[in-house]
Amino acid sequence: MILVGENINVMSVTIGPALKERNPKPIQELAKAESGAGVDYLDLNIGPARKAGDELMSWLVETVQKVSDKPLSLDTTNPVATEAGLKACKNRALINSVSLQPERLEKILPLAKQYSTDMIGLLWGVEGMPRDANERCMLAVDLIYKANQMGIASENIWIDPIATPVSVEINQVKACLEFMSMLTEIAPECKSIVGLSNVSNGTPAHLRPYLNRAYMIMLMKYGLYSAIVDAFDAELVQIARGEMPEIVSLVHRVMDGDKPDPASLSRKEMEYVKTVKVLTGETLYSHSWLEI
């Protein structure tokens, strides 16, 4: 699987101020650490960046490229900043992201074509968040059609069904999984990507990795191509690299209805099984789900 490190983002307590002050050091240290942790791409999330976003993104791209050769994912809702970043990128870039609002499509699709990038097709419609898997399918078909018309090949489109917090709405967590199981049929040439940390938003920090890892394995059952991840979750990186096949197969068996005897499971295996049950909606989420 392709991993996109999420750690360089404007919300971070160290990176936010560094971006504002144009202080390269904390950013370069993080970029080196993320690259060393084994991710494939670095996401550069500057948020809406309404003020001087173009200058900020090109500065950030150059700053990161001085210490890392990884390809970059340009994460901003400001299209002027996206283009400025693309001009500075040495490698083929990933545009994060193109959603279905007409003004986004009009501005970003031509950039993806002109700069021959990959692009994340975010399934966010004119009316906002899709309510279920079917609405996600309709948005995906619409987005892919419009991108294809613009001359962007399906293999360069990474569809993002939008993961949402399990502590907020289990039906959306399930819908994202269900959509992933349908994507290979509706658009077999397209790739896929999910922001895994979204699913654990609002959960105590020390418990977030359990949800992120289990959800990734569940999505892998349906062929997930890539994920936006915390680069410093070493176990998650190991799983994505195929180094924990027993856990992957256990999770997939549980999804198929297998009920393994708790006495036969290690503590770690038990934690995965409990977490899968939360993510399928079999157990109601609470902060103490691992203890029940």
> Using CB under 6 A, which of the segments 33-41, 193-201, 237-245, 266-274 binds ligand THG?
193-201
Q: What is the largest CA-CA distance in the chain?
A: 59
> Using CB under 6 A, which of the segments 9-17, 79-87, 106-114, 265-273 binds ligand THG?
9-17
> Using CB under 6 A, which of the segments 49-57, 183-191, 195-203, 284-292 binds ligand THG?
195-203
Q: By CB neighbour count within 10 A (0-12 exposed, 13-18 middle, 19+ buried), where does 257 fall?
A: exposed
Measured between alpha carbons, how far is 52 from 202 in angstroms, rounded to an integer?
A: 31
Q: By CB neighbour count within 10 A (0-12 exposed, 13-18 middle, 19+ buried), where does 14 fall?
A: middle
12 touching ligand THG, by CB under 6 A: yes
Q: How many CB atoms lie within 10 A of CB 80?
A: 16
Residue number, 163 or 250, with CB nearest to ligand THG: 163
122 touching ligand THG, by CB under 6 A: yes
Give, as ranges, the residues between 76 and 105 that touch ligand THG (CB under 6 A).
Answer: 96-97
Give, as ranges, the residues between 144 and 183 that touch ligand THG (CB under 6 A).
Answer: 160, 163
- Among 172, 197, 226, 275, the residue binding ligand THG under the rule CB under 6 A is 197
Residue number, 10 or 239, with CB nearest to ligand THG: 10
117 touching ligand THG, by CB under 6 A: no
Q: Please report how close the Cβ of residue 15 comes to ligand THG at its closest, in angstroms.
A: 7
Residue number, 2 or 265, with CB nearest to ligand THG: 2
Measured between alpha carbons, how far is 6 from 231 in angstroms, rounded to an integer?
A: 7
Query: Nearest 5°: phi and psi at 190?
Result: -75, 155
- Residues 172, 174, 175, 180: is their CA dihedral positive or negative? positive
